Amino acid sequence: METSKKRIVVKVGTSTLAYKTGKTNIRRMKQLVMVLADLMNAGHEVALVSSGAIGIGVGKMGLSSRPKDT
């Protein structure tokens, strides 16, 4: 059986990467990385896009809310 190689784009946000407390959800990130690595090892082209960087940063910096400016 021949499988065709695919280009896969995965978009994840803050709710996927962090708990409601703002702390990083390491277990979910590990699961995501394992799935993406399996896809790549199967020959697929994988792109991970995240809109969760600010949410993770807020938690890492211990801020109570997102900053209003850069």
Single-letter residue type at 16: T
Alpha carbon separation from 16 to 13, 31, 37, 44, 49 (Å, rounded): 5, 11, 18, 22, 12
* pLDDT > 70 in the chain, percent: 93
Q: Which residue has the tokens 């690595």?
A: 37
| Residue showing tokens 């211990």 | 62
Residue 61 has pLDDT above 90, yes or no: no
Instruction: Kindly report, residue by residue over 46-56, the tens digit of the pLDDT.
Output: 999 887 777 77
pLDDT per residue over 33-47, tens digit each?
999 999 999 999 999
Q: According to the model, what pLDDT value does residue 15 have?
A: 86
Q: Is the pLDDT of residue 13 over 60?
A: yes
